[in-house]
Amino acid sequence: MKRASITEARNRLSALLERVRHGETVVIEDRGVAVARISGVAADSSADADAVARLERQGIVRPATAPAPSRLALTRPPRPARPGALSRLVVAERAEGW
């Protein structure tokens, strides 16, 4: 993993990006403290897949069994039964001292 200062990254960005293209990760430091990481897009997709697999094992997410129906994207969200009811509830809570 290559480490570069902000000045070096600004002056040699093309060279650093070439290293990233070859699979290396570059960490950008500000006065010796890491503030950013540049990695290839393909590397991120495998990291994302690993993260999703870990979340599945923990039971936090479930894999999709079927694609979402297209009608979900086309339907409008439901309208509230009583417009403004939420604001009245907030005002009432504040009046009670919450």
pLDDT digits (tens, 9 = 90+) for 80-97: 666 667 788 888 888 887
Q: What is the pLDDT of residues 40-60, one digit of tens each?
A: 876 556 777 888 889 899 988
| Boundaries of every domain in the chain | 2-57
Backbone torsions φ then ψ of 34, nearest 5 degrees: -65, 130
Q: Would you say domain 2-57 falls under CATH 3.40.1620.10?
A: yes
What torsion, rounded to 10 degrees, do the Cα atoms 32, 36, 40, 46 define? 110
